[in-house]
Amino acid sequence: MFMEGKKGLIVGVANNHSIAYGIAKAIKEAGGDFILTYQNEKLKKRVAKVADQLGVETILPLDFSKEGELTQLREEVEKIYPQLDFIVHSVAFAPREALDGRFLDTSKEAFKIAMDISVYSLIELVREFEPLLKEGSSIVTMTYLGANRYIPHYNVMGVAKSALETSIYYMAVDLGAKGVRINGISAGPVKTLAASGIGDFSQILSYNKKNSPLRRNITIDEVGKAGVFLLSDYSSGITGEILYVDSGYHIMGMPLYEKEKENK
């Protein structure tokens, strides 16, 4: 129970198929406690169901597009946990039309939305909660290979994830002076609510499975274990890193192929 006694905040659980759910479940199994957030009333029931499953007592609203809601969240969290040991940020969004067609045709409005919700949300979340973060605390956010490789239908989200990863590097220096760490997990493709907005996602899953060194896709439980590692004291010397949990897919320089049979 190496998260025993640790208290935190998890932002971005949508249901029990979310990557953030995998991390939340692993934290609970390791003895940690946390508060969950929900974006709106539509998602509140889903998050409440997850909270019941995991034995989480408190869920609070947080919509990054609503002015003042982040400050209200911090005030409510502080009443329950005056200090935090960890934060999990698993938030990303781009208008659906920005994930189709050419990247060149991305509208300025779609670009702003993707950067605001997928990148700046991490910056303002950490800045707001910085006074509550204990020395030795840890922050984890979620990224994807599309940050530094071309991925079909990922478009503006790839650019947003690239900005997110760069933000991690700069924030690691800012926070490191106070003994606080921040890292990212680059997870392989997983069937989640967010992934449903990516075109031909089933083909992406199939391709990754065939061409990863482990010849399979990952699970949210595997991401959860990696998340607990980065949030725990076992990773106390690690900050500003991107940990790939993708069955090794990111190392591949070309697709795998089967050797032709000798009789051909």
> Are the beta carbons of 235 and 207 closer than 8 angstroms?
no
**Catalytic residue flag (residue 144):** yes
Identified catalytic residue from 21, 38, 154, 244:
154
> Are the beta carbons of 184 and 242 closer than 8 angstroms?
yes
Return the H-helix or E-strand segment holding 139: strand 133-143
Burial 128-138 (b: 16+ CB within 10 A, else e): ebbebbbeebb
Mark out the alpha helices in 177-243 (DSSP H runs): 201-211, 220-231
Q: Measured between alpha carbons, how far is 145 from 63 in angstroms, rounded to an integer?
A: 26
**Catalytic residue flag (residue 257):** no
> Are the beta carbons of 75 and 3 closer than 8 angstroms?
no
Identified catalytic residue from 21, 38, 144, 249:
144
Residue 158's closest CA among 205, 122, 106?
A: 106
- Write out the two tokens for 193: 């609510």
Query: What is the set of active-site residues?
Result: 144, 154
